[in-house]
Structure 1
Amino acid sequence: MFDFSGTLLRVEPTEEWLAAALAETGTPRVEEEFGETVRRLTEYGALPGGVSPRHLPAHLETLWGRRDISAEEHRAAYGGLTHAAGITDPRLAQALYDRHMTPAAWRPYPDTEPTLRELRRRGLPVAVVSNIGWDLRPIFRAHGLDELVDAYVLSFELGTQKPDPEIFRTACERLGLAPADVLMVGDDRRADGGAAALGCPVHFVDHLPVDRRPAGLTPLLDRLGSA
């Protein structure tokens, strides 16, 4: 089982995210304001898949904790953070949210495809288990990874999120394996570590920019043994 964001793929930097949304809406980029807007968006954690909020408005605390339960709550949580960061133009706010769901906004880690292909060669099934509020399958298709995934277990479709053991149990069932035989790979000690309660072994990777983690997944192949 693999987590998605920060494990197999990483979202683009906030600067690129904002620049793409400005271009999409035809909003002029004012250099004196651009850097400050990036700073505020980062402070409020408004980019899904990016850093967590350093400042979470009190009125969003409950919604933030449930953001991956449904598509509506996910959109509302991140829309609230974007607004708190000072984005008041509804067209730009919509473009920012829409942008993060596009394949162009996501980059696989350098060893993602080689690792998944080697697991497929060995006959080991793979599930992607993600706390997310939207369908990530098009991202995997666009990056040529979909054929290497046997099952997707997404929180917004299941109505529960990691670390709830139910999401990991569902993934094991879809793979047709006992939890003790399924390794969970993720970057979040709390969320992904929840698989241990079900009896799954767990392996953690660092949620780093793509160019700073060239081989975070490669050690898995040694841990899993050879075919």
Structure 2
Amino acid sequence: MPAIRAVVFDFFGTLTRSVQRGPQHADIARALGTDPETLVGVLDRTFRARACGRYGSAEATLRYVIEQAGGDSRPSAIRAAMPARVDALRADTQLRPDAVSALTAIRNRGVRTAVISDCTHELPAFLPGLPVAPLLDAQIYSVEQGVCKPDPAIYLAACAALDVDPRDCLYVGDGGSHELTGAAAVGMTPVRLAAPDLANHLVFDADTNFAGRKVRSLTEVVTMIDSVPALV
């Protein structure tokens, strides 16, 4: 494995524990006059388009989703639901117990860190308030980039923000969005996080055929870094 200057992480299911939609999503559906299962179906089938920012602002995106689900899409209703939408995504998000310690250890070794997430508008609204935020040198969101993984542009955006060559980067992810094969295609060294809790993770377009390196915890990423020299 080449020397490492940076580690780029996926967010949901990687820096966080397994994610499932919690009860607050159903509350939003009912408040906007639609069936929760219908809303989930719309959220699932539009995820990639929403994560690429295809429907515009956060408010415009929620309006589109609620229209598709047959709910109350009046501007006043959508505006009132916006804070609840952010709160629902935040409630679904639990950082891994070793996320802060692993990121701290990586940075203490002179290695830069970043996150790349296929996400909708809500994550950029709340990630900056999480304990991992000060430990990330760059935060790359698909909804702001206009592309999702495995598009090369999203990986290269992280490398540009970190001022590193892709060949000097580890990419760590659970494998959603074909992210591991995408990372390999731009020259990064991909590593699958195969944590036990991910059996129940909400994932789209999983990298099911990936046969590369695996770790079972974020702490093991630190051990992997220690096995090769870092470029500082």
TM-score bucket of the superposed structures, by smaller chain = 0.5 to 0.7
TM-score, normalised to structure 1, is 0.68
After superposition, where does 1:83-162 map in structure 2 within 5 Å? Answer: 88-90=71-73, 98-102=83-87, 103-134=90-121, 136-162=123-149
Equivalent-residue separation in structure 1 for 2:23 and 2:195 (angstroms):
18
Equivalent-residue separation in structure 2 for 1:222 and 1:70 (angstroms):
37
Contact 2:32-2:71 at 8 Å conserved across structures: no
Percentage of matched positions with identical amino acids: 26
The partner residue of 2:50 within 67, 89, 108 is 67
After superposition, where does 1:1-227 map in structure 2 within 5 Å? Answer: 1-9=8-16, 13-18=20-25, 21=28, 39-42=37-40, 44=41, 46=43, 53=44, 56=45, 65-70=48-53, 72-73=55-56, 88-90=71-73, 98-102=83-87, 103-134=90-121, 136-187=123-174, 188=176, 190-206=178-194, 216-225=217-226
Contact 2:166-2:188 at 8 Å conserved across structures: yes
- Give CA-to-partner distance per residue, 1:93-132, whole Å, 9 cap, x none: 7666643433344221222122112112222111111222
Q: 1:158 to 1:19 in 2, by over 3 A?
A: closer
Q: 1:193 to 1:79 in 2, by over 3 A?
A: farther
- Alignment length (residue pairs): 201
- Shift of the alpha carbon at 1:211? 11
Specify the SS of the correspondent of 2:178.
Answer: coil
Q: CA RMSD in A?
A: 3.8
Which of structures 1 and 2 has the larger relative contact order (alpha carbons within 8 angstroms, sep 6+)? 2
Equivalent-residue separation in structure 2 for 1:70 and 1:212 (angstroms):
27
Q: 1:14 to 1:218 in 2, by over 3 A?
A: same
Question: Which AA in structure 2 matches 1:14?
Answer: R
TM-score, normalised to structure 2, is 0.67
- Shift of the alpha carbon at 1:140? 2.9
Equivalent-residue separation in structure 2 for 1:208 and 1:78 (angstroms):
33
Specify the SS of the correspondent of 2:115.
Answer: strand
Match of 2:213 in 1: none
Question: Which AA in structure 2 matches 1:223?
Answer: M
Specify the SS of the correspondent of 1:161.
Answer: coil
Equivalent-residue separation in structure 2 for 1:211 and 1:197 (angstroms):
26
Specify the SS of the correspondent of 1:99.
Answer: helix
